[in-house]
Amino acid sequence: MKEVNLAQLFDKFEAGQCSPAEQRALQAWLHSYRTAGKAALTDQDFSEARMNMLEAIDRATSPAPQKSGVFTLWPRVAAAAVALLILGASLFYVNSLSINGNQQEGGRYSEEAAPGTVGATLTLADGRKVRLSDSINGDLATEAGVTIRKTSDGELIYEINSDPSKVGMTKGKSTTNTLSTAPGETYQVQLPDGSRVWLNSASSLSYPVHLMKNGKRQVSLQGEGFFAVSKDKKHPFIVQAGNQLVEVLGTQFNINSYTDEAMIKTTLIEGAVKVTLGDEQKLISPGEQVVNDGKKLAVGKADAESVTDWKQGDFNLDRIDLKLALRKIARWYNIQVVYDADLPEGLTSGGWFSRSQKLSTILKAIEKSGQVRFTLKDKTLYVKQNKR
- Write down the pLDDT at residue 282: 96
Question: Rounded distance, CA 266 to CA 246, Å?
Answer: 8
Looking at the DSSP bridge assignments, the partners of residue 108 are none
CATH architecture of the domain covering 313-385: 3-Layer(bab) Sandwich (3.55)
In the chain, where the domains are located = 3-105, 117-307, 313-385
Q: Could you tell me if 191 and 197 are in contact, meaning their C-beta atoms sit under 8 angstroms apart?
A: yes
The residue ranking higher by pLDDT, 277 or 249, is 277
Question: In the structure, what pLDDT confidence band is assigned to residue 142 with cuts at 50, 70 and 90?
Answer: confident
Rounded to an integer, the average pLDDT of 82-86 is 43
**Contacts (Cβ under 8 Å, ≥6 apart) of 175:** 125, 143, 144, 208, 209, 210
- Write down the pLDDT at residue 81: 42
Question: Rounded distance, CA 91 to CA 123, Å?
Answer: 50
- Write down the pLDDT at residue 267: 97
**Each residue of 243-271: pLDDT tens digit?**
999 999 889 999 999 999 999 999 999 99
- Write down the pLDDT at residue 26: 59
Question: In the structure, what pLDDT confidence band is assigned to residue 16 with cuts at 50, 70 and 90?
Answer: low
Q: Could you tell me if 144 and 210 are in contact, meaning their C-beta atoms sit under 8 angstroms apart?
A: yes
- Write down the pLDDT at residue 145: 80
Question: In the structure, what pLDDT confidence band is assigned to residue 164 with cuts at 50, 70 and 90?
Answer: very low
- pLDDT of 156 higher than 80: yes
- pLDDT of 296 higher than 90: yes
Of 20-24, 94-98, 382-386, the one with minimum mean pLDDT is 94-98
Q: Which CATH number fits domain 117-307: 3.30.2320.80, 1.10.287.70, 2.60.120.1440, 1.10.3210.10?
A: 2.60.120.1440
